[in-house]
Amino acid sequence: MRRLKHTSSIHDYVKEFSSLMLEIPNMIEEELLFNFMDNPQWWAEQELRRRGIQDLATTMVVAESLTDYKREDSSKVESLEDSHATGWGDEVSRYHNAPRMGSGKTPNV
């Protein structure tokens, strides 16, 4: 299990871990959970630890759900990059830099 690393999708990592888990029938759940949490990419490990899940089955289900979150997150970045390429970036920047209510700042008009 130590050789298993999360290098592609989290779905592939969970699938590979499940296969390896079946090859080691005597390992207790705490050891399996430790090994699972020891090898994912940093963003997945951080999110799983933040949620504080204590059992392997739930951890694996939550890890599977992170795949969609990560893909959605990257599509947002791409859409922002596209907006800059099409000229909408100025609109995004203007609203992003607008003063917030209660900040005491007045807009530069």
What pLDDT does 94 receive? Answer: 47
Angle at 85 between CA 80 and CA 89, to 5 degrees: 55
Q: What average pLDDT does this structure show over 57-75?
A: 73
- pTM value is 0.55
Residue 43: pLDDT band by 50, 70, 90 thresholds? Answer: confident
Q: What average pLDDT does this structure show over 89-103?
A: 50
Question: What is the Cα–Cα distance from 71 to 50, expressed in whole angstroms?
Answer: 20
Mean pLDDT of the chain: 71
Question: What is the Cα–Cα distance from 64 to 18, expressed in whole angstroms?
Answer: 12
Residue 34 confidence (pLDDT) above 60 = yes
What pLDDT does 106 receive? Answer: 55
Q: What average pLDDT does this structure show over 51-61?
A: 92
93 vs 29, residue with greater confidence: 29
| Other C-beta atoms lying within 10 Å of the C-beta of residue 98 | 11
Question: What is the Cα–Cα distance from 30 to 44, expressed in whole angstroms?
Answer: 19
Residue 70 confidence (pLDDT) above 80 = no
